[in-house]
Amino acid sequence: MAGKRTFGSAPARWWPWLGLALVLFVADQVTKQWILARYQLGDATVITSFFNIVRAHNTGAAFSFLAGASGWQRWFFTGIGVAAAIFIVWMLRAHAGQRLFSFSLACILGGAIGNVVDRLQHGYVVDFLDLHWAGWHFPAFNVADAAITVGAALLILDELRRVRSAK
């Protein structure tokens, strides 16, 4: 069939998505290294009335889930991150032509790999973005977490658009 791409001929279409994931991964790692070089654990700099730069270590997952566990969570979350990355690369290759879907997956991929590297290198994820209001602090996060969040939100939006267009 002329013009129809198969799974095996798709790499030219999915490389840009891997490139986006790489850019997000590098941005995440560069910012984390900057924090590690300039801040001690717990140090903070006030930027605005609602935003600080801090140095925090998260041995758990989102919102410090399982952070208080005995150490097994490091390998558990690393394994989940590696499995997710492999699955996402497979999905990107199979669906590279779906732009919003692939963009969202690339964001999640770049963030997931960034946090996996932290877990392998340090045993924790380096967080440094601190949003707060009236004494309430959102859990500190990083570029990888932001990329994963944006990717997840766009993935939901993509699915809502897909369901709506199917009606």
28 is an active site residue? no
CA-closest candidate to residue 77, choices 122, 107, 35, 128: 122
Give the residues across from 57 on adjacent strands: 126
State the residue for tokens 């997710």: 84
Q: Classify burial at 12, counting beta carbons within 10 Å of its beta carbon; exposed 0-12, middle 13-18, buried 19 or more.
A: exposed
Question: Of the listed 118, 127, 130, 158, which one is catalytic?
Answer: 127
CA 63 vs. chain centroid, Å, equals: 14
In the residue annotation, 145 being an active-site residue is answered as: yes
From the list 118, 130, 145, 158, the catalytic residue is 145
As annotated, the active-site residues are 127, 145
